[in-house]
Amino acid sequence: MKKHVISTLAGAAILAGSVSAQAAGELNFYNWTDYTPDDLIEKFEKETGINVTMDTYDSNETLLAKLKSGAVGYDLAVPSSNFVSIMVSEGLLEEVDVKSMPNYKNVDPRWQGPAWDPEQKYTSPYQYGTTSFAVRTDAADVTCESLKTFFEPEGEACGNVSVFATPEEVASMAALYLGQPYCDDRSDSLKAMQKLLQTQNKCVKVYSSEGMIDRVATKTVTVTNAWNGDAMRARLEGTPIEYCYPKEGLVGWFDSLVIPKGAENYENAKTFMNFLMEPENMAMVSNFARYSNAIPASTEFLDPELATAPEANVPDGIEVRVSETCGPKFVKSIDKIWTKLRQ
Ligand code: N2P
């Protein structure tokens, strides 16, 4: 009965337009580009009467810089696991008792209390996946076999490569290729990484963390840095593309919802966290962005091709090494290397 009254009110609120939006409030959602399905936002607005405003970023680095600059105005953001601990230690996140939310029971036990948030005090799950590179299958001189194609491309591939515009994920891939541990701040390791990134730089056409799907579709590039979901979307749109599982391995990541410090609409952000742990809602994100999620009961709402897609299934024997939180010395050094590279 109570539920009925609430939904009637929400319905009335929507009919009343902007006045109602004010009544139910606002939610300012800051997420990666191309990561939030419109239909999910519409469903949330309809069910809650809360009016959502979206803003987007291209990388963890951009998100971190924005939060550090004291930018207020965001109620929800989506960092990757290795950035959560930085944000927590810098006091950039609100605490939130995710475990007490009604839909928390839907989270796969193996993703409950994850390493980056053991008490589930700051994060609720969004999506997880891998970072690698992808190639146009109709292009010359490209192969998925090794990260060599990405870092030291030869022939026609050189000059037709697109690389993410921020160093963290690229450095992790370089570490895999060079056989280094992640975040290795010894000077010899840093020198080797710098040399490799300079070699790659000669073959790079575009540095960008957005628009990969279009650049490959139009054959602007034939080799591209890629997340598995974007590569799957490109393939489903008809682009001859292969997401690569190089023998040196891939970078793994897990993205979560967090509430930035000082969020004005804290309660609405919590409402969204709980909403997204509903299987049907989480499935909407995976069906759009094409990544895996931590809500097992969402499976029945998922497009069947997700279960078998090569982009979502790592072949046996290929390592996925989960990205780590690097120390300040490494971050400073790689920033310096990167800045020089991009001059
Ligand atoms: C999709 C963003 C993927 C997030 N465009 C990678 N962590």
Q: What is the pLDDT along the chain (343 residues), one digit of tens a residue?
A: 233 333 444 444 444 444 444 458 999 999 999 999 999 999 999 999 999 999 999 999 999 999 999 877 999 999 999 999 999 999 999 999 999 999 999 999 999 999 999 999 999 999 999 999 999 999 999 999 999 999 999 999 999 999 999 999 999 999 999 999 999 999 999 999 999 999 999 999 999 999 999 999 999 999 999 999 999 999 999 999 999 999 999 999 999 999 999 999 999 999 999 999 999 999 999 999 999 999 999 999 999 999 999 999 999 999 999 999 999 999 999 999 999 999 9
61 Cβ below 6 A of ligand 1: no
Q: Where are the domains of the chain?
A: 12-128+255-308, 129-252+309-342
Q: How much is the pLDDT for 102?
A: 98
Gap from CA of 2 to ligand 1 centroid (Å)? 39
Q: How much is the pLDDT for 24?
A: 80
Geometric angle at alpha carbon 63, from 59 and 64, rounded to 5°? 115
Gap from CA of 154 to ligand 1 centroid (Å)? 28
Query: Looking at the domain 129-252+309-342, which fold is it?
Result: D-Maltodextrin-Binding Protein; domain 2 (3.40.190)
CATH class of 12-128+255-308: alpha beta
Q: How much is the pLDDT for 3?
A: 33
The one-letter code for the residue type at 205 is: K
Helix (H, G, I), strand (E, B) or coil at 135: strand
Q: How much is the pLDDT for 72?
A: 73
- Judge contact between 28 and 67, C-beta under 8 A: no
255 Cβ below 6 A of ligand 1: yes
Task: List pLDDT tens digits, range 99-140.
Answer: 999 999 999 999 999 999 999 999 999 999 999 999 999 999
- Judge contact between 229 and 127, C-beta under 8 A: yes
- Judge contact between 202 and 342, C-beta under 8 A: no
Gap from CA of 91 to ligand 1 centroid (Å)? 24
Phi and psi at residue 320, to the nearest 5°: -110, 110
Q: Pick the atom of ligand 1 nearest to 289's CA.
A: 1
Q: Pick the atom of ligand 1 nearest to 33's CA.
A: 5
33 Cβ below 6 A of ligand 1: yes
Q: In a mutational test of the pocket of ligand 1, which residue from 56, 132, 255, 290 has the highest number of ligand atoms less than 8 Å from its CB?
A: 255
Return the closest-CA partner of residue 76 out of 253, 273, 282: 273
Q: In a mutational test of the pocket of ligand 1, which residue from 30, 34, 35 has the highest number of ligand atoms less than 8 Å from its CB?
A: 35
Same CATH fold, 129-252+309-342 and 12-128+255-308?
yes
Task: List pLDDT tens digits, range 255-295.
Answer: 999 999 999 999 999 999 999 999 999 999 999 999 999 99
pTM of the full predicted structure? Answer: 0.92
| Separation between Cα atoms, residue 160 and residue 148, nearest integer Å | 14
- What does the buried/exposed string (b/e) look like for 277-309 if buried means 16 or more CB atoms within 10 Å of the residue's CB? bbbebbbbbbbbbbbbbbbebbeebbeeebeeb
Q: How much is the pLDDT for 23?
A: 58
126 Cβ below 6 A of ligand 1: no
Burial class (CB in 10 A: 0-12, 13-18, 19+), 343: exposed
Q: How much is the pLDDT for 70?
A: 87
| Separation between Cα atoms, residue 102 and residue 125, nearest integer Å | 14
Quick one: DSSP state of residue 107?
S
Gap from CA of 127 to ligand 1 centroid (Å)? 9
| Separation between Cα atoms, residue 179 and residue 176, nearest integer Å | 5
Phi and psi at residue 286, to the nearest 5°: -65, -35
34 Cβ below 6 A of ligand 1: yes
- Judge contact between 301 and 323, C-beta under 8 A: no
Gap from CA of 122 to ligand 1 centroid (Å)? 20
Gap from CA of 255 to ligand 1 centroid (Å)? 8
Gap from CA of 119 to ligand 1 centroid (Å)? 25
Return the closest-CA partner of residue 166 out of 208, 131, 197: 208
Distances (CA, A) of 262 to 74, 104, 189, 339: 9, 24, 40, 32
